[in-house]
Amino acid sequence: MTLADLKQKIDTHIQKIEKDIKTLELEDFKNKYLSKHSQTHNIIKSIADINPIDKKEAGMLINQFKEYLNNITTTNLQTTTLDNNIFDFDYTLPGIKPDLGHLHPTTQTIREINAFFKHYGYSVAIGPEIESDEYNFEKLNLPKDHPARDLQDTLYIKSPEILLRTHTSSVESRTMTNSTLPIRVVVPGKAYRNETVNKSNNAIFYQYEGLVVDKGINMGHLKSTLVNMLQHLFGNDVKYRFRPKYYPQVEPGVGADIECPFCKGNGCSICKNRGWIEAAGAGMVHTNALKACNIDSDIYSGFAFGFGLDRLVMAKHKITDIRDLYSGNMVFEQ
């Protein structure tokens, strides 16, 4: 190949480049003209075929050609970036908001209730979910021969002493046994019973317990606490009622109900046509429970309450099936 042939090839190739640089995308241009398999690469390699006498001048031509390629590519890259940044993209536009998850309704409700009780000086207590018979039953005035044990279908890890706690009241007995007086705690957490799973019952469920032990505590303190909490959670216009109810660990005992939010008191399958949903069981801590935890019942008294937390969550969020809370389903049927 002569020097004139090389110059002719370069000039012809530059004409093609000048044409395509205006129409091709930068990546396509690089693939066509700057890859190892391109005509450009072949032209540069053709210096090996030049007559040795002309190789110095051929080398200068190739270097000029390489500098041209570098300049035109850099210029085009800067122009493309400039065009994209200034003319094709508006930085003042709002970004695309990513889809974010949210806290589980049960977690939201626990935090909302915790905030209420922390305002009144309560601490949040926790305890083991694998519990002993002593703390789950005996210290709560439920000795081994008590018939009320049959109402709680207990799941035993090692019968008869080690079990899955049937209520979070076990944390109350631990707190009364191991803490200094006065006591003011709430206990959110899971409990376990051998229940038939359906729309309103589950073998795993959440409770929200509360315990106050101090001098001069009476039923009025309990009632005002429950009423204020229900109004905090459901609004001041929530309809509620109290009715006498038996619980072994308290005396006297009450059941706190709220009007069914699904039927507004008219009766439906959710409330079993009663018009009311039981929100909590409560009462004054039984003297036997106080004595079992080494608390002098002549000096101290207290009240305890236990909300069925799942029922509160369902009522607050209009969830009709308790199984939705544990299924991982992101959409709750209204």
pLDDT tens digits, one per residue of 154-203: 999 998 899 999 999 999 999 999 999 999 999 999 999 998 888 888 99
Cα(200)–Cα(313) distance, rounded to whole angstroms? 12
* Residues paired with residue 163 on neighbouring β-strands, in sequence order: 131, 156
* Structure confidence at residue 219 (pLDDT): 96
- Residue that is written with structure tokens 């000086």 in the block: 121
* Structure confidence at residue 102 (pLDDT): 81
For the chain, domains (ranges, CATH) are 3-87 (no CATH), 105-327 (3.30.930.10)
299-320 CB burial, b ≥16 within 10 A, e <16: ebbbbbbbbbbbbbbbbebebe
Question: Do residues 185 and 123 lie in contact, with contact meaning Cβ atoms separated by under 8 Å?
Answer: yes
Q: For residue range 264-277, what is the model confidence (pLDDT) as tens digits?
A: 999 888 888 999 99
Cα(297)–Cα(141) distance, rounded to whole angstroms? 14
CA 153 to chain centroid, in Å, comes to 30
Q: What are 296's two structure tokens? A: 């002098």
The beta strand positions in the chain, using DSSP E, are 123-124, 130-132, 156-158, 162-164, 183-192, 204-214, 240-244, 250-259, 276-285, 301-308
Across all residues in the chain, what is the average pLDDT? 87
- Place 82 in a pLDDT band, splitting at 50, 70 and 90: very low
Cα(248)–Cα(252) distance, rounded to whole angstroms? 9
Residue 90 has pLDDT above 70, yes or no: no
* Structure confidence at residue 99 (pLDDT): 75
* Residues paired with residue 303 on neighbouring β-strands, in sequence order: 212, 284
- Comparing 66-75, 112-121, 299-308, which segment has the lowest mean pLDDT? 66-75
Question: Do residues 142 and 132 lie in contact, with contact meaning Cβ atoms separated by under 8 Å?
Answer: no
Q: For residue range 291-314, what is the model confidence (pLDDT) as tens digits?
A: 999 999 999 999 999 999 999 999
* Structure confidence at residue 80 (pLDDT): 52
The total number of residues shown for the chain amounts to 334
Question: Do residues 233 and 312 lie in contact, with contact meaning Cβ atoms separated by under 8 Å?
Answer: yes
- Residue that is written with structure tokens 């905030």 in the block: 115
151-177 CB burial, b ≥16 within 10 A, e <16: ebebeeeeeeeebbbbbbbbbbbbbbe
Q: What percent of the chain has pLDDT over 70?
A: 93
**Closest by Cα among 177, 193, 210 to 280:** 210
Q: For residue range 224-270, what is the model confidence (pLDDT) as tens digits?
A: 999 999 999 999 999 999 999 999 999 999 999 999 998 999 988 88
* Residues paired with residue 65 on neighbouring β-strands, in sequence order: none
- Residue that is written with structure tokens 């608390």 in the block: 295
Q: How many CB atoms lie within 10 A of CB 48?
A: 9
Cα(68)–Cα(219) distance, rounded to whole angstroms? 93
- Place 128 in a pLDDT band, splitting at 50, 70 and 90: very high
